[in-house]
Amino acid sequence: MIGAMVRARSLVVLLGAGVHGCAREPFRCTTPLPQGEPLARLNEPLRLDFSATVDPASVAAGSVRALRRGDGAELPGRWRCDGVTLTFVPAAPTRVDLADAAFAPGSDVQVEVVGLPRMVALRALTGEALASGFTLRRPVAARSGDWRLAPAAELFCDPRPGPPELVTRTARFAAGRIELCFSEPLDPRTLAAARFRLHGPWSRESHPADNPDMAATLVANGEAAVVALELRPGSALPMPVDAATPLELRFEPKDALRDLGGAALAQNGGPFYPYIPVAVGDD
């Protein structure tokens, strides 16, 4: 009887030692947190790794924020949760002057991660909260000099190495508007050098100014790029058009638009052909 009790106590001690030896590692950030350098590029994702799978629900509840230092404004972009990795993907700029970039040239950004004792602390999927919060500060590229002249590689990360392509094979002209879709995001600054003219039955080689000039706006610049073209104020078609009217969009110079890596447009792996067929109507 006594021997059985001794064996039972020994088993309890061994089990206790096993549980203690397998104690869960505290939920924590495992990424070294640089303060200051290196400079972040305008569309550079900011990645944080943790010791356990992150609960996406805690991210959605506001446990992490990307802010502009100075006024504390929340930056446009999205948080992507993938296992133990949490990434802030900033919104790429669409304006020629880059004024709508999440990471504005020469600015400072601040990432705040909330920990205990706050109720909105970042949590692991197991429910364990981050023991303490932290702040990551990063300066943004082009802190000196003229960013308008900076090479694309200094300002941007190129998400798709290689030249971009025009996805739109036949453009659609409706209500004075055309949209062109490209295979990847574009450097908005290059839109200033691009010119689009609408060619039709009225077009003559000796009078290129007869072709209506269209103003270009980059309306989307995420996984792909979308450029919207509209007749400039005061510009009108030389004649009425309908579904039977042959139209082409002339893009000049053909190497004006470039991607975030500085590569010019290509077409099926070869040089870009600057005439785009245009159909009239919504269908």
pLDDT at residue 36, as a whole number: 58
Q: Per-residue pLDDT averaged across 104-132, rounded?
A: 92
The β-bridge partners of 64 are 113
pLDDT in tens, 253-279: 999 999 999 999 998 888 899 999 999
pLDDT at 111 over 70: yes
Distance CA 278, CA 241 (A): 11
Task: Please tell me the least confidently modeled range out of 153-157, 222-226, 244-248.
Answer: 153-157
CA nearest 136: which of 40, 26, 61, 54? 40
Distance CA 116, CA 66 (A): 19
Q: What is the CA radius of gyration of the chain?
A: 28
Give the count of beta carbons closer than 10 Å to the beta carbon of residue 220: 16
pLDDT in tens, 129-183: 999 999 988 888 765 567 778 889 888 999 899 999 999 999 999 988 999 999 9
pLDDT bin (cut points 50, 70, 90) of residue 20 is very low
One-letter amino acid for residue 88 of the chain: F
H/E segment holding residue 58? helix 56-58
pLDDT in tens, 47-100: 999 999 999 999 998 999 999 887 888 999 999 999 999 999 999 999 998 888
Largest Cα–Cα separation, the chain? 113
pLDDT at residue 145, as a whole number: 63
Do 248 and 275 touch, CB atoms closer than 8 A?
yes
